[in-house]
Amino acid sequence: MAFGRNNSFMSDINVTPFVDVMLVLLIIFMVTAPMMIEGVNVSLPEATSEPLPAEQDQLIITIDKDNQVYINDYQVTLDFLREKLIKILDGRVGQEVYLKADKNISYGIVVRVMSEIKGAGVEKLGMVTEPITSNNNKGK
């Protein structure tokens, strides 16, 4: 004779530990997500021009102050820039490329990169600049 014993199994699932783990993971991802966004710092020259209509999938070649060349955010050497661009542009509909170059680098580097871009078969090459602000006009 069993006094006070219930031999049936408990069919409820305890979700409290699962919720605790999910909340901890959510907090971790919320804290680390802004740190994962990287870019290339470039001091752009200023010019007066109208902004171009933005596309969703832009191909931007960047030259930073240390003469490092990037395709979007991926660093490439100047020797392999043409090859990589040919492979990237092979599957693309639009052959438009935008060039961002630091204003303090040598003009020869910019011309060499432009030559490699044109050698890859790019027909439309846009130059990215900063708009001239009113503060800069006061001192000139």
Q: State both tokens at 134.
A: 């009113």
Structural domain of residue 58, as residue ranges? Answer: 46-138
Number of compact structural domains in the chain: 1
* pLDDT tens sequence across 97-139: 888 888 888 888 888 898 888 888 887 888 887 777 765 554 4
112: domain CATH number?
3.30.420.270
CA distance 89 to 92: 5
Global pTM value: 0.56
For residue 39, being part of any structural domain is answered with no
CA distance 37 to 139: 35
Q: State both tokens at 18.
A: 């699962």
For residue 17, being part of any structural domain is answered with no
Alpha carbon dihedral 106, 107, 110, 116, in 10-degree steps, equals -110
Cβ pair 44, 100 in contact under 8 A: yes
For residue 34, being part of any structural domain is answered with no
